[in-house]
Chain A
Amino acid sequence: MKIKIEVMLRDAILDPQGNTIKKSLNSLGFKNVKSVRQGKLIEIDLNTSSSNKEKKNIEKMCEDVLANSLTEKYKIKFLK
């Protein structure tokens, strides 16, 4: 089973990288860019097939390691 996990800083938290990209895009002529937030994408290949138990395990992996719940939010996408 393959999954993709998207980790983003929570909305209330300042994202200086996103701000820098936004300013740069604006100065390159992309004037309509209002705001940019930058995060990370983690692709994982698992030896198991999709099951409820496995989904819980993946949640735990995100909560315990892949994201810091105080400052980050995450989305899990199950691929084929």
Chain B
Amino acid sequence: MKVAIVVFPGSNCDRDIAWAIKKISGYKPVYLWHKEKNFRNYDLIILPGGFSYGDYLRCGAIGSHSPIMKEIKKRSQNGTKIIGICNGFQILTESKMLPGSLLQNENLKFICKKIYLKVKNNNTFVSKKYKLNEIINVPIAHMEGRYYCSKETLKELENNNQIIFQYCSNNGNIKDTDNPNGSTMNIAGITNLKGNVLGMMPHPERCSEELLGGENGINFFKSIFENIN
């Protein structure tokens, strides 16, 4: 399996995710600088968390115009699997590879804590190893994570099972009180219609070994490797 991690100026989770992938799968990912235009084929391309271009203007807005993004968009249309975590999710919505947008948290605070997620669709390349409706404990760390989309888009996301993770309580209730950032319908992660592009705000790479305080992210990576191999 060939995995690439894109590094933007300001990315800061690139090494964390490389560590998790290497530890769980044994594969060593390659780093791709955001100015690359010609690169070999990869089974999976990851846009990591961080603050691309300092997140000036809007989070992910300038990153979405990086030279590498044109090629990534093209490859996603040909079926390459793409994952955007946190700032990577923001870049994917800004580049219109995923619908919707991520706005400032409703409480105006940078939220850095562990939250609960419900796996709403376990038939995707990142969630196969989870049970349907399984509750997992994953950290978030963001200031702009309030997922917003139009009513029409929301309907499409629901009808096509594109909502993969939703914020919930420790016993799985999906209520406003368990919505850390004000996201529409507690949405924490979605895929595109084809199912090969995923964006999510929580960080599975930060809970993939006990030393970091949890292992609920391991199945995220195991799902990917099983699916691609």
Contact = CB atoms under 8 A, between A and B. Distances in A.
Interface in B1-15: none
B103 A13 contact: yes
A13 B182 CA distance: 12
Interface in B176-199: 182
B65 A70 contact: no
Interface stretch (A14-22, A25-33, A47-55): A14-22
User: Which bracket fits the contact residues of A?
Assistant: 10 to 19
Contacts of A65: 57, 61-62, 65
Given A14-B182, A65-B65, A70 B108 contact: no
B57 A70 contact: no
Interface residues of B, number: 18
A3 interface: no
Contacts of B101: 68, 70-71
A66 interface: yes
B16 interface: no
Contact of B150 (A20, A68, A70): A70
Interface of B: 57-58, 61-62, 65, 94, 100-101, 103-108, 148-150, 182
Given A68-B61, A71-B103, 16 more contacts: A9-B103, A14-B103, A14-B106, A16-B105, A16-B107, A17-B108, A65-B57, A65-B61, A65-B65, A66-B57, A68-B58, A68-B94, A68-B101, A70-B148, A70-B149, A71-B101
